[in-house]
A = this chain, B = another copy of it.
Amino acid sequence: MIKPRTPPGVMELLPREQIAFQRMLDAIRHTFEQFGFLPVETPVMELSEVLLTKSGGETERQVYFVQSTGALGKATEAGSVDAIPELALRFDLTVPLARYVAEHEHDLAFPFRRYQMQRVYRGERAQRGRFREFYQCDIDVVGKDALSIRFDAEIPAVISALFERLAIGDFTIQLNHRKLLRGYFEGLGIGEGLQQAAVLRELDKLDKRGEPAVRATLAGDEFNLSNDAIERLMGFSRVRSSGHADALAKLDGLGGGTPLFEEGRSELRSILQQMHVMGVPEQRYAINLSIARGLDYYTGVVYETILNAYPQIGSVCSGGRYDDLAGHYTRSKLPGVGISIGLTRLFFQLRDAGVVAAADSSVDVLVALLDDAGLDDVLALSQRLRAAGLNVETQLEPRKLARQMQYADRAGIRFVAIRGEDEAARGMVAIRDLRRGQQFEVAEAEVANALQVEREQLRAQPETMQ
Protein backbone atom coordinates (compact mmCIF):
# COMPACT_ATOMS: atom_id res chain seq x y z
CA MET A 1 0.00 0.00 0.00
CA ILE A 2 1.44 3.37 -1.09
CA LYS A 3 0.54 6.54 0.77
CA PRO A 4 -1.39 8.73 -1.70
CA ARG A 5 0.12 12.22 -1.70
CA THR A 6 1.22 15.02 -4.01
CA PRO A 7 4.82 16.22 -4.29
CA PRO A 8 5.71 19.24 -2.12
CA GLY A 9 5.22 22.67 -3.67
CA VAL A 10 2.05 22.06 -5.67
CA MET A 11 -1.47 23.29 -4.96
CA GLU A 12 -4.26 20.75 -5.25
CA LEU A 13 -7.81 21.80 -4.42
CA LEU A 14 -10.98 20.13 -3.27
CA PRO A 15 -13.86 20.52 -5.76
CA ARG A 16 -15.52 23.57 -4.20
CA GLU A 17 -12.17 25.36 -3.98
CA GLN A 18 -11.42 24.29 -7.53
CA ILE A 19 -14.70 25.89 -8.63
CA ALA A 20 -13.67 29.14 -6.93
CA PHE A 21 -10.29 28.94 -8.68
CA GLN A 22 -11.95 28.16 -12.00
CA ARG A 23 -14.18 31.22 -11.62
CA MET A 24 -11.10 33.39 -11.23
CA LEU A 25 -9.56 31.82 -14.33
CA ASP A 26 -12.82 32.40 -16.23
CA ALA A 27 -13.03 36.03 -15.10
CA ILE A 28 -9.45 36.66 -16.19
CA ARG A 29 -9.93 34.99 -19.55
CA HIS A 30 -13.18 36.89 -20.08
CA THR A 31 -11.49 40.23 -19.46
CA PHE A 32 -8.52 39.41 -21.68
CA GLU A 33 -10.93 38.51 -24.48
CA GLN A 34 -12.96 41.67 -23.95
CA PHE A 35 -9.84 43.65 -24.76
CA GLY A 36 -9.22 41.70 -27.94
CA PHE A 37 -6.46 39.36 -26.80
CA LEU A 38 -6.21 36.01 -28.56
CA PRO A 39 -5.57 32.67 -26.85
CA VAL A 40 -2.27 30.84 -27.18
CA GLU A 41 -1.20 27.62 -25.52
CA THR A 42 2.31 26.27 -25.77
CA PRO A 43 3.65 22.84 -24.79
CA VAL A 44 4.79 22.40 -21.20
CA MET A 45 8.02 20.88 -22.50
CA GLU A 46 10.40 22.92 -24.63
CA LEU A 47 13.72 21.89 -26.12
CA SER A 48 16.36 22.77 -23.50
CA GLU A 49 18.50 24.36 -26.16
CA VAL A 50 15.63 26.70 -27.08
CA LEU A 51 14.37 27.37 -23.57
CA LEU A 52 17.67 28.11 -21.86
CA THR A 53 19.22 30.60 -24.27
CA LYS A 54 19.06 33.55 -22.00
CA SER A 55 18.34 32.37 -18.50
CA GLY A 56 20.78 33.43 -15.88
CA GLY A 57 22.18 31.43 -12.98
CA GLU A 58 19.19 31.71 -10.68
CA THR A 59 16.71 30.58 -13.28
CA GLU A 60 18.90 27.79 -14.56
CA ARG A 61 19.25 26.28 -11.11
CA GLN A 62 15.44 26.16 -10.90
CA VAL A 63 14.75 24.48 -14.22
CA TYR A 64 13.11 21.06 -14.30
CA PHE A 65 14.51 18.76 -16.95
CA VAL A 66 12.54 15.93 -18.50
CA GLN A 67 13.70 12.53 -19.70
CA SER A 68 11.74 9.58 -20.95
CA THR A 69 12.42 6.20 -19.37
CA GLY A 70 14.31 5.12 -22.46
CA ALA A 71 16.80 7.97 -22.42
CA LEU A 72 17.24 7.61 -18.68
CA GLY A 73 17.94 3.89 -18.94
CA LYS A 74 20.63 4.41 -21.53
CA ALA A 75 22.36 7.04 -19.43
CA THR A 76 22.27 4.76 -16.39
CA GLU A 77 23.67 1.79 -18.29
CA ALA A 78 26.50 3.87 -19.68
CA GLY A 79 27.23 5.06 -16.13
CA SER A 80 26.89 8.67 -17.16
CA VAL A 81 24.21 11.20 -17.78
CA ASP A 82 24.02 14.10 -20.15
CA ALA A 83 24.59 17.32 -18.25
CA ILE A 84 21.58 18.86 -19.96
CA PRO A 85 18.71 16.58 -21.04
CA GLU A 86 16.98 17.39 -24.30
CA LEU A 87 13.70 18.63 -22.78
CA ALA A 88 12.84 21.06 -20.00
CA LEU A 89 9.64 22.41 -18.43
CA ARG A 90 8.90 26.08 -19.08
CA PHE A 91 9.62 28.31 -16.07
CA ASP A 92 7.54 31.25 -17.33
CA LEU A 93 5.33 32.16 -20.29
CA THR A 94 7.63 34.86 -21.66
CA VAL A 95 10.34 32.68 -23.19
CA PRO A 96 7.68 30.43 -24.82
CA LEU A 97 6.00 33.59 -26.18
CA ALA A 98 9.30 34.75 -27.66
CA ARG A 99 9.81 31.34 -29.23
CA TYR A 100 6.20 31.23 -30.49
CA VAL A 101 6.27 34.68 -32.07
CA ALA A 102 9.64 34.07 -33.71
CA GLU A 103 8.60 30.63 -34.96
CA HIS A 104 5.22 31.74 -36.34
CA GLU A 105 6.25 35.28 -37.27
CA HIS A 106 4.99 35.03 -40.84
CA ASP A 107 1.61 33.67 -39.81
CA LEU A 108 0.84 36.30 -37.19
CA ALA A 109 -0.59 39.80 -37.57
CA PHE A 110 1.28 42.56 -35.71
CA PRO A 111 0.73 44.13 -33.25
CA PHE A 112 0.13 40.60 -31.97
CA ARG A 113 -2.13 40.50 -28.91
CA ARG A 114 -2.06 37.20 -27.07
CA TYR A 115 -3.18 35.87 -23.75
CA GLN A 116 -1.88 32.68 -22.22
CA MET A 117 -3.03 31.03 -19.00
CA GLN A 118 -1.02 27.95 -18.21
CA ARG A 119 1.10 26.38 -15.52
CA VAL A 120 4.83 26.96 -15.22
CA TYR A 121 7.47 25.05 -13.25
CA ARG A 122 10.30 26.11 -10.99
CA GLY A 123 12.44 23.98 -8.72
CA GLU A 124 11.88 26.34 -5.79
CA ARG A 125 12.96 25.41 -2.30
CA ALA A 126 9.96 23.76 -0.63
CA GLN A 127 8.39 26.34 1.64
CA ARG A 128 4.87 27.40 2.56
CA GLY A 129 3.51 29.74 -0.11
CA ARG A 130 6.27 28.87 -2.61
CA PHE A 131 5.09 26.83 -5.55
CA ARG A 132 6.98 24.54 -7.90
CA GLU A 133 3.98 24.42 -10.21
CA PHE A 134 1.81 27.50 -10.60
CA TYR A 135 -0.51 29.22 -13.02
CA GLN A 136 0.58 32.33 -14.82
CA CYS A 137 -2.00 34.44 -16.65
CA ASP A 138 -0.22 36.69 -19.12
CA ILE A 139 -1.10 39.18 -21.79
CA ASP A 140 1.34 40.82 -24.17
CA VAL A 141 1.10 43.07 -27.18
CA VAL A 142 4.08 42.48 -29.46
CA GLY A 143 4.89 44.84 -32.29
CA LYS A 144 7.13 44.39 -35.28
CA ASP A 145 9.92 46.98 -35.49
CA ALA A 146 7.91 49.43 -33.35
CA LEU A 147 4.97 49.52 -30.97
CA SER A 148 3.08 52.69 -30.06
CA ILE A 149 3.12 53.65 -26.39
CA ARG A 150 -0.65 53.80 -26.66
CA PHE A 151 -0.54 50.09 -25.90
CA ASP A 152 1.28 50.90 -22.65
CA ALA A 153 -1.87 52.72 -21.53
CA GLU A 154 -4.25 49.99 -22.66
CA ILE A 155 -2.61 47.44 -20.39
CA PRO A 156 -3.56 49.23 -17.13
CA ALA A 157 -7.10 49.54 -18.50
CA VAL A 158 -7.14 45.74 -18.75
CA ILE A 159 -5.72 45.36 -15.24
CA SER A 160 -8.34 47.71 -13.88
CA ALA A 161 -11.27 45.95 -15.61
CA LEU A 162 -9.88 42.61 -14.47
CA PHE A 163 -9.57 43.39 -10.78
CA GLU A 164 -12.97 45.09 -10.77
CA ARG A 165 -14.41 41.86 -12.11
CA LEU A 166 -12.51 39.65 -9.67
CA ALA A 167 -14.06 41.67 -6.83
CA ILE A 168 -11.34 40.85 -4.34
CA GLY A 169 -11.18 44.39 -2.93
CA ASP A 170 -9.68 47.77 -3.77
CA PHE A 171 -6.44 47.79 -5.70
CA THR A 172 -3.88 50.26 -6.99
CA ILE A 173 -2.00 49.98 -10.26
CA GLN A 174 1.36 51.58 -9.60
CA LEU A 175 3.36 52.94 -12.51
CA ASN A 176 6.95 53.95 -12.99
CA HIS A 177 9.08 54.36 -16.08
CA ARG A 178 12.54 52.98 -16.64
CA LYS A 179 13.65 56.00 -18.69
CA LEU A 180 12.60 58.31 -15.88
CA LEU A 181 14.56 56.21 -13.44
CA ARG A 182 17.67 55.84 -15.60
CA GLY A 183 17.56 59.50 -16.57
CA TYR A 184 17.33 60.58 -12.96
CA PHE A 185 20.25 58.36 -11.98
CA GLU A 186 22.30 59.72 -14.88
CA GLY A 187 21.58 63.22 -13.65
CA LEU A 188 23.06 62.27 -10.28
CA GLY A 189 26.15 60.85 -11.96
CA ILE A 190 25.23 57.24 -11.18
CA GLY A 191 26.45 55.23 -14.18
CA GLU A 192 24.46 52.92 -16.42
CA GLY A 193 23.89 49.26 -15.70
CA LEU A 194 25.45 47.56 -12.74
CA GLN A 195 25.92 50.65 -10.62
CA GLN A 196 22.31 51.73 -11.08
CA ALA A 197 21.17 48.22 -10.32
CA ALA A 198 23.22 48.15 -7.12
CA VAL A 199 21.80 51.49 -5.96
CA LEU A 200 18.27 50.28 -6.69
CA ARG A 201 18.88 47.18 -4.64
CA GLU A 202 19.90 49.36 -1.70
CA LEU A 203 16.82 51.56 -2.09
CA ASP A 204 14.72 48.41 -2.12
CA LYS A 205 15.96 47.67 1.39
CA LEU A 206 14.61 50.96 2.80
CA ASP A 207 11.71 49.25 4.54
CA LYS A 208 13.82 46.45 5.94
CA ARG A 209 17.02 48.21 6.99
CA GLY A 210 15.65 51.67 7.67
CA GLU A 211 16.73 54.94 6.14
CA PRO A 212 19.86 55.67 8.22
CA ALA A 213 21.47 52.31 7.37
CA VAL A 214 20.74 52.68 3.67
CA ARG A 215 22.05 56.25 3.68
CA ALA A 216 25.26 55.04 5.32
CA THR A 217 25.77 52.37 2.68
CA LEU A 218 25.17 54.80 -0.19
CA ALA A 219 27.63 57.27 1.34
CA GLY A 220 30.21 54.52 1.93
CA ASP A 221 33.12 53.27 -0.20
CA GLU A 222 31.05 51.13 -2.53
CA PHE A 223 28.88 53.96 -3.86
CA ASN A 224 30.56 57.09 -2.64
CA LEU A 225 27.46 59.25 -3.22
CA SER A 226 27.28 62.84 -1.97
CA ASN A 227 24.78 63.79 0.70
CA ASP A 228 22.95 65.87 -1.86
CA ALA A 229 22.68 62.96 -4.27
CA ILE A 230 21.45 60.68 -1.49
CA GLU A 231 18.89 63.28 -0.47
CA ARG A 232 17.52 63.51 -4.00
CA LEU A 233 17.48 59.73 -4.40
CA MET A 234 15.46 59.35 -1.23
CA GLY A 235 13.07 62.05 -2.32
CA PHE A 236 12.65 60.54 -5.78
CA SER A 237 11.95 57.05 -4.56
CA ARG A 238 9.36 58.35 -2.10
CA VAL A 239 7.19 59.93 -4.81
CA ARG A 240 3.62 58.55 -4.77
CA SER A 241 0.58 60.17 -6.30
CA SER A 242 -3.03 60.22 -5.24
CA GLY A 243 -5.50 60.76 -8.06
CA HIS A 244 -5.00 61.71 -11.69
CA ALA A 245 -4.23 65.42 -11.31
CA ASP A 246 -1.77 64.70 -8.52
CA ALA A 247 0.05 62.12 -10.65
CA LEU A 248 0.57 64.68 -13.42
CA ALA A 249 1.53 67.37 -10.88
CA LYS A 250 4.05 65.08 -9.17
CA LEU A 251 5.61 64.30 -12.56
CA ASP A 252 5.84 68.02 -13.40
CA GLY A 253 7.26 68.75 -9.97
CA LEU A 254 10.29 66.51 -10.49
CA GLY A 255 12.25 69.45 -11.96
CA GLY A 256 14.29 69.31 -15.15
CA GLY A 257 16.49 66.42 -16.14
CA THR A 258 18.51 64.71 -18.84
CA PRO A 259 16.98 64.08 -22.29
CA LEU A 260 16.33 60.47 -21.27
CA PHE A 261 14.56 61.65 -18.13
CA GLU A 262 12.38 64.04 -20.15
CA GLU A 263 11.53 61.28 -22.59
CA GLY A 264 10.40 59.06 -19.73
CA ARG A 265 8.38 61.86 -18.17
CA SER A 266 6.66 62.67 -21.42
CA GLU A 267 5.80 59.01 -22.10
CA LEU A 268 4.49 58.43 -18.60
CA ARG A 269 2.38 61.58 -18.87
CA SER A 270 0.83 60.37 -22.15
CA ILE A 271 0.13 56.99 -20.64
CA LEU A 272 -1.64 58.51 -17.63
CA GLN A 273 -3.68 60.79 -19.87
CA GLN A 274 -4.82 57.96 -22.11
CA MET A 275 -5.73 55.81 -19.10
CA HIS A 276 -7.92 58.68 -17.98
CA VAL A 277 -9.67 58.86 -21.36
CA MET A 278 -10.17 55.09 -21.29
CA GLY A 279 -12.13 55.52 -18.10
CA VAL A 280 -9.74 53.87 -15.65
CA PRO A 281 -11.00 55.24 -12.30
CA GLU A 282 -8.39 57.61 -10.93
CA GLN A 283 -8.35 56.00 -7.50
CA ARG A 284 -7.18 52.79 -9.20
CA TYR A 285 -3.78 54.07 -10.34
CA ALA A 286 -0.83 56.03 -9.01
CA ILE A 287 2.76 56.72 -9.84
CA ASN A 288 5.25 55.12 -7.49
CA LEU A 289 8.81 56.01 -8.43
CA SER A 290 10.35 53.33 -6.22
CA ILE A 291 9.20 50.54 -8.53
CA ALA A 292 12.07 49.09 -10.56
CA ARG A 293 11.41 45.45 -11.68
CA GLY A 294 13.55 43.34 -14.03
CA LEU A 295 16.25 45.87 -14.84
CA ASP A 296 17.71 43.97 -17.75
CA TYR A 297 14.42 43.30 -19.40
CA TYR A 298 12.13 46.30 -19.08
CA THR A 299 12.92 49.49 -20.95
CA GLY A 300 9.87 51.74 -20.54
CA VAL A 301 6.80 51.81 -18.33
CA VAL A 302 6.63 49.28 -15.50
CA TYR A 303 3.53 48.22 -13.55
CA GLU A 304 2.85 46.69 -10.18
CA THR A 305 -0.60 46.13 -8.75
CA ILE A 306 -1.28 45.91 -5.05
CA LEU A 307 -4.41 45.00 -3.16
CA ASN A 308 -4.94 47.98 -0.85
CA ALA A 309 -6.07 45.84 2.08
CA TYR A 310 -3.24 43.33 1.66
CA PRO A 311 -0.03 45.21 0.84
CA GLN A 312 1.98 42.35 2.39
CA ILE A 313 0.98 40.10 -0.52
CA GLY A 314 3.09 42.36 -2.73
CA SER A 315 2.38 42.92 -6.39
CA VAL A 316 -0.36 40.64 -7.76
CA CYS A 317 -0.04 41.75 -11.38
CA SER A 318 3.21 43.12 -12.79
CA GLY A 319 4.89 43.84 -16.05
CA GLY A 320 6.05 46.55 -18.36
CA ARG A 321 7.47 47.56 -21.71
CA TYR A 322 10.42 45.78 -23.29
CA ASP A 323 12.42 46.50 -26.44
CA ASP A 324 13.45 43.12 -27.67
CA LEU A 325 11.34 40.05 -27.02
CA ALA A 326 13.01 37.44 -29.16
CA GLY A 327 16.54 38.52 -30.04
CA HIS A 328 17.77 34.96 -29.49
CA TYR A 329 15.43 33.53 -32.11
CA THR A 330 15.00 36.12 -34.83
CA ARG A 331 16.64 39.16 -36.37
CA SER A 332 13.26 40.95 -36.37
CA LYS A 333 12.94 43.56 -33.72
CA LEU A 334 9.93 42.69 -31.57
CA PRO A 335 9.20 45.29 -28.88
CA GLY A 336 6.25 44.66 -26.58
CA VAL A 337 4.39 45.39 -23.41
CA GLY A 338 2.72 42.94 -21.08
CA ILE A 339 1.76 41.77 -17.64
CA SER A 340 1.64 38.56 -15.68
CA ILE A 341 -0.52 37.35 -12.80
CA GLY A 342 0.76 34.50 -10.64
CA LEU A 343 -2.68 33.11 -9.98
CA THR A 344 -1.80 30.09 -7.85
CA ARG A 345 0.07 32.20 -5.33
CA LEU A 346 -2.63 34.89 -5.40
CA PHE A 347 -5.38 32.34 -4.77
CA PHE A 348 -3.38 30.77 -1.95
CA GLN A 349 -2.84 34.14 -0.29
CA LEU A 350 -6.45 35.25 -0.74
CA ARG A 351 -7.65 32.00 0.75
CA ASP A 352 -5.34 32.46 3.70
CA ALA A 353 -6.70 35.97 4.14
CA GLY A 354 -10.28 34.69 3.97
CA VAL A 355 -11.06 36.72 0.82
CA VAL A 356 -11.85 33.69 -1.33
CA ALA A 357 -13.40 30.51 -0.02
CA ALA A 358 -14.98 27.33 -1.29
CA ALA A 359 -17.50 28.38 -3.94
CA ASP A 360 -21.07 27.28 -4.37
CA SER A 361 -21.32 24.17 -6.49
CA SER A 362 -21.36 24.41 -10.26
CA VAL A 363 -24.46 22.22 -9.92
CA ASP A 364 -27.62 24.35 -9.93
CA VAL A 365 -30.07 21.72 -8.81
CA LEU A 366 -30.15 18.24 -7.34
CA VAL A 367 -33.14 16.24 -8.54
CA ALA A 368 -34.06 14.06 -5.58
CA LEU A 369 -35.17 10.44 -5.85
CA LEU A 370 -37.54 9.15 -3.18
CA ASP A 371 -38.15 5.59 -4.40
CA ASP A 372 -37.30 3.37 -7.34
CA ALA A 373 -40.77 3.75 -8.81
CA GLY A 374 -40.05 7.44 -9.37
CA LEU A 375 -36.81 6.89 -11.32
CA ASP A 376 -38.17 7.39 -14.84
CA ASP A 377 -39.90 10.63 -13.87
CA VAL A 378 -36.78 11.90 -12.15
CA LEU A 379 -34.64 11.09 -15.18
CA ALA A 380 -37.08 12.82 -17.51
CA LEU A 381 -37.28 15.90 -15.26
CA SER A 382 -33.48 16.07 -15.10
CA GLN A 383 -33.20 15.97 -18.87
CA ARG A 384 -35.76 18.77 -19.23
CA LEU A 385 -33.85 20.94 -16.79
CA ARG A 386 -30.59 20.28 -18.63
CA ALA A 387 -32.20 21.11 -21.96
CA ALA A 388 -33.13 24.46 -20.40
CA GLY A 389 -29.45 25.11 -19.68
CA LEU A 390 -29.25 24.16 -16.02
CA ASN A 391 -26.51 22.10 -14.42
CA VAL A 392 -28.29 19.13 -12.88
CA GLU A 393 -27.23 16.27 -10.68
CA THR A 394 -29.70 13.40 -10.54
CA GLN A 395 -29.99 11.29 -7.43
CA LEU A 396 -29.92 7.83 -9.00
CA GLU A 397 -30.37 5.70 -5.90
CA PRO A 398 -33.20 6.51 -3.45
CA ARG A 399 -32.10 7.80 -0.06
CA LYS A 400 -33.93 9.48 2.77
CA LEU A 401 -34.87 12.98 1.68
CA ALA A 402 -33.14 14.45 4.73
CA ARG A 403 -29.87 12.86 3.62
CA GLN A 404 -30.26 14.19 0.10
CA MET A 405 -30.86 17.69 1.50
CA GLN A 406 -27.83 17.37 3.71
CA TYR A 407 -25.74 16.26 0.78
CA ALA A 408 -26.89 19.20 -1.38
CA ASP A 409 -26.24 21.63 1.45
CA ARG A 410 -22.68 20.40 2.03
CA ALA A 411 -21.96 20.31 -1.68
CA GLY A 412 -23.09 23.93 -2.07
CA ILE A 413 -25.98 23.03 -4.38
CA ARG A 414 -28.66 25.65 -3.93
CA PHE A 415 -31.82 23.92 -5.16
CA VAL A 416 -33.29 20.47 -4.61
CA ALA A 417 -36.18 19.45 -6.88
CA ILE A 418 -38.55 16.91 -5.32
CA ARG A 419 -41.11 15.00 -7.29
CA GLY A 420 -42.78 12.69 -4.81
CA GLU A 421 -45.97 10.72 -5.48
CA ASP A 422 -47.99 13.48 -3.94
CA GLU A 423 -46.49 16.21 -6.15
CA ALA A 424 -46.60 13.99 -9.23
CA ALA A 425 -50.32 13.39 -8.77
CA ARG A 426 -50.87 17.15 -8.94
CA GLY A 427 -48.39 17.70 -11.81
CA MET A 428 -46.20 19.76 -9.50
CA VAL A 429 -42.58 19.74 -8.40
CA ALA A 430 -41.47 20.93 -4.98
CA ILE A 431 -38.36 23.13 -4.98
CA ARG A 432 -36.29 23.54 -1.86
CA ASP A 433 -34.13 26.67 -1.90
CA LEU A 434 -31.37 25.84 0.55
CA ARG A 435 -29.92 29.31 0.49
CA ARG A 436 -33.14 31.03 1.51
CA GLY A 437 -34.35 28.07 3.56
CA GLN A 438 -37.66 28.12 1.67
CA GLN A 439 -39.70 25.55 -0.18
CA PHE A 440 -42.18 26.26 -2.97
CA GLU A 441 -44.13 24.35 -5.57
CA VAL A 442 -44.06 24.92 -9.31
CA ALA A 443 -46.03 23.29 -12.10
CA GLU A 444 -43.82 20.71 -13.79
CA ALA A 445 -43.66 22.62 -17.05
CA GLU A 446 -42.52 25.75 -15.16
CA VAL A 447 -39.64 24.30 -13.15
CA ALA A 448 -36.89 25.06 -15.65
CA ASN A 449 -38.10 28.63 -16.06
CA ALA A 450 -38.43 29.24 -12.34
CA LEU A 451 -34.93 27.97 -11.59
CA GLN A 452 -33.43 29.83 -14.49
CA VAL A 453 -34.89 33.10 -13.29
CA GLU A 454 -33.39 32.47 -9.86
CA ARG A 455 -30.07 31.55 -11.38
CA GLU A 456 -29.92 34.61 -13.60
CA GLN A 457 -30.65 36.77 -10.57
CA LEU A 458 -27.65 35.16 -8.93
CA ARG A 459 -25.47 35.76 -11.97
CA ALA A 460 -26.53 39.38 -12.23
CA GLN A 461 -24.90 40.00 -8.87
CA PRO A 462 -21.31 41.25 -9.13
CA GLU A 463 -19.06 38.25 -9.58
CA THR A 464 -17.42 37.22 -6.40
CA MET A 465 -15.32 34.27 -5.49
CA GLN A 466 -17.34 33.51 -2.37
Contacts and interface: CB of A to CB of B under 8 A. Distances in A.
Interface string A77-104: 0011101011101000000001110111
B62 A69 contact: yes
Interface in A287-334: 326, 328-331
B278 A34 contact: no
Interface in A1-25: 1-7, 10, 12-16, 18-19, 21-22
A394 B44 CA distance: 32
A18 B2 contact: no
Contact of A13 (B41, B109, B362): B41
B102 A4 contact: yes
Interface in A238-291: 274, 277-279
A363 interface: yes
Interface string A15-46: 11011011000000000011110111111111
A89 B66 contact: yes
Given A13-B41, A46-B7, A36 B363 contact: yes
Contact of A15 (B114, B151, B411): B114
A12 B133 contact: no
Nearest to A408: B109
A205 interface: no
A33 B18 CA distance: 13
A50 to B, nearest CB: 6
A72 B85 contact: yes
Contact of A2 (B69, B123, B329, B363): B329
B379 A274 contact: yes
A371 interface: no
Nearest to A80: B79
Contact of A47 (B7, B75, B83, B392): B7
Nearest to A369: B150
Contact of A380 (B38, B76, B161, B277): B277
Q: How many copies does the complex hold?
A: 2
Given A39-B362, A393-B36, A5 B133 contact: no
Contacts of A390: 34
Contact of A4 (B34, B39, B103): B103
Given A10-B45, A274-B379, A68 B62 contact: yes
Contacts of A278: 379-380, 382-383
A283 to B, nearest CB: 17
A339 interface: no
Contacts of A223: none
A67 interface: yes
A397 B361 CA distance: 45
A358 to B, nearest CB: 11
A392 B158 CA distance: 12
Contacts of A89: 66
A362 B2 contact: no
A375 to B, nearest CB: 8
B10 A43 contact: yes
Given A50-B5, A386-B34, A407-B109, A12 B396 contact: no
A40 B65 contact: no
Contacts of A64: 45, 66-69, 87
Given A36-B363, A278-B380, 14 more contacts: A4-B50, A4-B329, A5-B50, A10-B45, A13-B41, A14-B107, A18-B39, A35-B393, A44-B133, A63-B68, A76-B81, A150-B396, A154-B394, A277-B379
A-B pairs, 7 with minimum CB distance: A36-B393, A68-B123, A10-B43, A15-B38, A4-B329, A4-B103, A150-B396
25 contacts: A3-B50, A4-B50, A4-B103, A4-B329, A5-B50, A5-B103, A6-B42, A7-B86, A12-B100, A13-B41, A22-B39, A34-B389, A36-B363, A36-B391, A61-B69, A62-B69, A64-B67, A64-B69, A66-B66, A66-B89, A72-B81, A109-B410, A157-B383, A277-B380, A279-B380
